[in-house]
């Protein structure tokens, strides 16, 4: 029987266990450049089979939150090299999550104070994190977006390609395409955020086009075996919805089977919330992928505890399980899960912004 603690190979990457650290936005990289604190944070958690970095904007336009590290500045790439080197020295592996937030942004975060971009000029009923002139941080309503012109889309695809190459140059073992949680790719997928009437809107085939083009351009650049994707079929995060997500995401997952991807990362239910917020056939979703020949490692996420994670892997329902908040408070989470030891509780007040407190100072087991 396969165990959560057994090794696994994803793509060509040998992992020591089937536990992943989910991407976690922490807003501790001023100027979009990873720093000493970030190096320590990731190094502390390198016993995870796979670390997935916090969302990392592919361009200045793709940024939606203050003080998140990017992949579009030379100094950012140099900062990430220090992170990946520390993780590898500790025996770990790490993937960069490639992020374009689309409409989930604020004019103060955009180039020249411009409007955020989106599939359609539909404002998200959501908030984002900014830093004020006095240095304090806080959440504000997202700004009104503008619709992307058709001739702008190739440029964004080029940004994805360039960021994927930068990630590999920075020492990452793989990349994860962020196609979840109501950000740009997810906005193209969802009918409530995409009112386009061109080749990227309307039908399911058209609404999945952008996601598949992003996968194509990245897989060609760095290899499908170093490419993963994160999906959230039923999350309402950042004001996205679709009246019938099953055929939409089944179409997408069947198309993804044509690529020999490293992993598929699935958020089951509402991100950070209930797992049963909307009816969805998760087993059928995975089966649709496998039926079309998809071989990527199947990673699941959202509300998993030790028993659930162990059962998911032992039953074959999943190949890997990712943990988010548990990794914030437990840098030695893998060992705690092995020993069935108590977990530290995360301090929500320190999730976004700040320094070492609530970031790198959580205690390990004695």
At 323 the three-state DSSP class reads strand
Q: Counting every residue, how long is the chain?
A: 366
Report DSSP letters for 171-218, one per residue.
T-SEEEEE--TTSHHHHHH-TTT----STTSSSHHHHTHHHHHHHHHH
User: For strand 137-141 and strand 94-99, is the pairing parallel, antiparallel, or unpaired?
Assistant: unpaired
Phi, psi (rounded to 5 degrees) for 19: -105, 130
Which residues are the active-site residues? 183
Rounded CA separation 253/277 (Å)? 21
Q: If we measure between CA atoms, which residue out of 124, 123, 125, 119 comes closest to residue 147? A: 119
- Euclidean distance between CA atoms 366 and 194, whole angstroms: 51
Give backbone dihedrals phi and psi of 365, rounded to 5 degrees, phi first: -65, 150
The residues with which 19 forms a beta bridge, in sequence order, are: 321
Copy the structure tokens of residue 134: 């006095």
Report the SS3 class of residue 297: strand
Q: Which residues pair with 299 in a beta bridge?
A: 265, 320
Q: How far, in whole angstroms, is CA 202 from its chain's centroid?
A: 26
Place of tokens 């992943």: 20
List the alpha helices (DSSP H) in the chain.
Answer: 36-44, 74-89, 153-169, 184-189, 204-207, 209-222, 245-256, 282-291, 306-314, 325-329, 333-339
Close Cβ partners of 120 (under 8 Å, ≥ 6 residues apart): 147, 193, 194, 195, 196, 201
Alpha carbon distance 128, 145 (integer Å): 14
Strand partners, 34: none
Rounded Cα distance between 222 and 160, Å, is 11
């Amino acid at each position: 029987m396969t165990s959560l603690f057994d090794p696994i190979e994803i793509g060509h990457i040998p992992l020591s266990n089937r536990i992943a650290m989910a991407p976690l936005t922490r807003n501790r990289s001023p100027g979009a450049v990873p720093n000493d604190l970030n190096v320590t944070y990731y190094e502390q958690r390198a016993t995870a089979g796979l670390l997935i970095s916090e969302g990392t904007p592919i361009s200045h336009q793709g940024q939606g939150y203050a003080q998140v590290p990017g992949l579009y500045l030379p100094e950012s790439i140099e900062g990430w090299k220090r992170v990946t080197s520390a993780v590898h020295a500790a025996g770990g592996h790490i993937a960069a999550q490639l992020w374009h937030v689309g409409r989930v942004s604020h004019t103060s975060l955009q180039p020249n104070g411009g409007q955020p971009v989106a599939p359609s000029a539909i404002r998200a009923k959501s908030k984002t994190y900014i830093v004020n002139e006095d240095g304090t941080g806080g959440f504000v309503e997202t700004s009104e977006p503008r619709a992307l012109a058709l001739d702008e889309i190739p440029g964004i695809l080029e940004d994805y390609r360039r960021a994927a190459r930068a990630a590999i140059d920075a020492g990452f073992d793989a990349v994860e395409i962020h196609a979840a949680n109501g950000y740009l790719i997810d906005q193209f997928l969802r009918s409530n955020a995409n009112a386009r009437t061109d080749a990227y809107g309307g039908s399911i085939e058209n609404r999945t086009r952008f996601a598949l083009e992003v996968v194509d351009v990245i897989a060609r650049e760095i290899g499908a075996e170093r490419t993963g994707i994160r999906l959230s079929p039923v999350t309402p995060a950042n004001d996205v919805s679709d009246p019938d997500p099953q055929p939409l995401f089944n179409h997408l997952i069947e198309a993804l089977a044509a690529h020999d991807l490293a992993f598929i990362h699935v958020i089951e239910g509402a991100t950070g919330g209930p797992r049963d917020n909307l009816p969805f056939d998760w087993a059928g979703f995975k089966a649709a992928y496998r039926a079309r020949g998809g071989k990527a490692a199947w990673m699941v996420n959202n509300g998993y505890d030790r028993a659930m994670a162990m059962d998911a892997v032992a039953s074959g329902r999943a190949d890997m399980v990712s943990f988010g908040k548990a990794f914030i408070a437990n840098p030695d989470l893998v060992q705690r899960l092995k020993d069935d030891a108590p977990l530290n509780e995360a301090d929500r007040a320190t999730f976004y912004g700040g320094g070492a407190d609530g970031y790198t100072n959580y205690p390990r087991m004695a």
